[in-house]
Structure 1
Amino acid sequence: MNCNNQTTYYIFYDELTVMMVTDVDEMCEYLADEAILYGYAYNEDMARTLMAECMSRISVG
Structure 2
Amino acid sequence: MATQRPRISKPTDERRAEIVECARRLFAERGFTATKISAIVRELGGCVSKVVEIDFRHLRAG
Is TM more than 0.5 here? no
Normalised TM-score (structure 2): 0.31
Normalised TM-score (structure 1): 0.31
**Greater Rg over alpha carbons, structure:** 2
| Larger proportion of strand | 1
| Larger proportion of helix | 2
